[in-house]
């Protein structure tokens, strides 16, 4: 499978982000804890290179805990402030305000020396589609001030959100980069739902996912579906189809229905907690 998705509004969003950065003290980047590297947009490092940086590893409840800790240390070693969160359940959210203040300590001290008091930190929230930016903002702000959706591309425009006296947030649409240099990155993003399912072959995608899980987390698929794992992913998918009674009108085994179940249950964490890559 070839992965490419770069709607026109994302080019416009990137240009707008370049303009907005002139107003910003801090870039808050959300990544998906299951794919912390693949869910980072390399453009954002270039755009925000002179700004304070905070990485939020969201959906940490769906990721492999040991690998999440490895990634947390890895990002900190590169000079980022890092917090692992689950925006939906509010896990990890309490420490974010302090991390923002710590990340912007130099800016706050600089303002104080100039006699500027009580100017809030202005933070831009960035991230690729479907990493949970809107859910994070709504949870952090304590009210539904940003649209949320479980499909990529819900946030289309920009909006300023006053959180408290200390922090203002600028929400931005999720942007992917124009070209995936490594198709494995595209595959991982397809796994987690950051590329629209409508342009993907879900049957093939589920086979790729099953292959990865059986090689890297042996036994988890068997345990979830009460089957024997087979070295051949197609055979395993067939076993899942039988176990879940996925049948077409002619009482044929419905592989597509089984594939959709596998993708949905992986993304919702029902199969288990997985991380799809390792720190560089």
Tens of pLDDT, residues 176-185? 554 567 788 8
Q: What is the pLDDT of residue 153?
A: 46
> 119 to each of 51, 100, 171, 192, how far by Cα in Å?
17, 14, 19, 38
The residue count of the chain comes to 280
Burial (Cβ within 10 Å: 0-12, 13-18, ≥19) of residue 201: middle
Tens of pLDDT, residues 241-251? 999 999 998 88
Cα gap 173→150, rounded to integer Å: 14
Tens of pLDDT, residues 197-233? 777 899 999 999 999 999 999 999 999 999 999 889 9
Report which of 139, 217, 123, 129 is spatially closest to residue 171, judged by C-alpha positions. 123
pLDDT at 39 > cutoff 70: yes
CA atoms within 13 A on the CB side of 207: 13
Q: What is the pLDDT of residue 165?
A: 86
Cα gap 19→37, rounded to integer Å: 26
197: Cβ–Cβ under 8 A, 6 or more apart, which residues?
A: 263
φ, ψ of residue 244 in degrees (nearest 5)? -95, 10
What mean pLDDT comes out for the span 56-82? 97
Which neighbouring-strand residues pair with 171?
Answer: 125, 159
In a 3-state reduction of DSSP, which class is residue 144?
Answer: coil
pLDDT at 196 > cutoff 50: yes
pLDDT at 118 > cutoff 50: yes
Q: What is the pLDDT of residue 155?
A: 47
Task: For the chain, report the end-to-end CA distance as a whole number of angstroms.
Answer: 24
Q: What is the pLDDT of residue 151?
A: 47
53: Cβ–Cβ under 8 A, 6 or more apart, which residues?
A: 26, 27, 29, 79, 80, 81, 103
Mean pLDDT across the chain: 86
Residue 31: in which H helix or E strand, if any? strand 26-32
């Amino acid at each position: 499978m070839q992965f490419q998705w770069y709607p026109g509004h994302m080019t416009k969003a990137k240009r707008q982000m370049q303009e907005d950065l002139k107003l910003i003290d801090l870039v808050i980047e959300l990544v998906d804890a299951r794919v912390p590297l693949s869910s980072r947009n390399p453009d954002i490092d270039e755009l925000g290179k002179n700004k304070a940086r905070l990485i939020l590893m969201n959906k940490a409840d769906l990721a492999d805990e040991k690998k999440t800790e490895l990634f947390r240390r890895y990002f900190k070693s590169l000079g980022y402030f890092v917090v692992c969160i689950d925006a939906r359940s509010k896990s990890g959210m309490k420490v974010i305000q302090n991390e923002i203040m710590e990340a912007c300590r130099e800016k706050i001290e600089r303002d104080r020396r100039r006699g500027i008091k009580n100017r809030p930190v202005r933070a831009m929230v960035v991230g690729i589609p479907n990493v949970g930016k809107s859910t994070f903002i709504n949870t952090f702000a304590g009210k539904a001030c940003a649209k949320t959706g479980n499909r990529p591309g819900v946030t289309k425009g920009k909006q300023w959100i006053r959180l408290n006296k200390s922090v203002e947030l600028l929400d931005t649409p999720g942007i992917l980069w124009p070209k995936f240099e490594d198709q494995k990155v595209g595959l991982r993003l397809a796994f987690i739902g950051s590329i629209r399912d409508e342009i993907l072959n879900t049957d093939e995608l589920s086979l790729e996912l099953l292959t990865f899980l059986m090689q890297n987390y042996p036994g988890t698929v068997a345990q979830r579906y009460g089957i024997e794992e087979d070295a051949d992913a197609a055979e395993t998918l067939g076993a899942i189809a039988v176990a879940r009674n996925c049948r077409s009108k002619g009482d044929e085994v419905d592989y597509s229905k089984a594939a959709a179940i596998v993708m949905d249950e992986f993304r919702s964490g029902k199969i288990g907690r997985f991380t799809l890559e390792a720190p560089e």
